[in-house]
Amino acid sequence: MPHRPDLVVFDVNETLSDLSALAGRFAEVGAPSHLAATWFAALLRDGFALTVAGANPAFAEVGTGVLRGLLASHLPGQDLDAAVAAVMAGFGELGVHPDVVPGVRALRRGGHRLVTLTNGAAAVPDGLLTRAGIRDEFERLMSVADAGAWKPARAAYEFAARQCGVAIGDTLLVAVHPWDVHGAKAAGMPAAWISRDAATYPAHFAAPDVVATGVDDLAAQLAAG
């Protein structure tokens, strides 16, 4: 457990939002629901590849491009524009995981400053947290669009700490994705891994400082010191 963080930096997609509803969107347009997992992995693969090659692409643009390619091979002869739009619209209507609202409120009661940092657009957590009734608990919603590079690039984590006027070692990244935990750690930012489904943490990534089963459990662990 790192010392008490001044600033808790939440990842958004899958960490706060429940992406499982997206599988249903694939089924609704006539594609196999298991494509959702391949799509999200391929979206990040392509976004990271662009980052490696020096670009800082828009998340929705990469998501749309990868989705179009996947659906083209599964829905020959269909209206791809409509299918792509139907799945992408799902991103704007997601809910939060059940542990998020009580966890966020407990962290605020504990006096922690809360912000988000996403590889997507800042409008996504704005809508997500507003629908969940906890938008006002967050003082800032940040996007890597303003940081110069996607997470897990060092620049993204440094940007978040700098924007909030906090030394990077006094923050705590909270993410469900091991690659995000790894990037934070490599940048000098302590990190908590949210493991909702008792997943195994991959040995090829730097280990988290905290492992929690949800945001509520994280709040309890931070309160216990």
Binding site for its own copies (CB under 8 A): 32, 34, 37-38, 41-42, 44-46, 48-55, 57, 61-62, 65-66, 68-69, 72-73, 149-150, 152-154, 178-179, 182-183, 186-187, 197, 199-200, 202-205
| CA distance linking residue 181 with residue 175, whole number of Å | 6
The nearest distance, CB 112 to its own copies, in angstroms, is 26
Rounded least distance, CB 72 to its own copies, Å: 5
CB of 135 to its own copies, least distance (A): 29
C-beta of 18 vs 46, nearer to its own copies: 46
Q: Of 69 and 133, which has the nearer Cβ to its own copies?
A: 69
- Strand pairing class (113-118; 140-143): parallel
Pick between residue 129 and residue 209 the one whose CB is nearest to its own copies: 209
Q: Which is nearer to its own copies, 1 or 41 (CB)?
A: 41
Q: How far is the CB of 187 from its own copies (least distance, A)?
A: 8
By C-beta, is 48 or 102 nearer to its own copies? 48
Taking the complex as a whole, the smallest distance from the CB of residue 186 to its own copies amounts, in Å, to 4
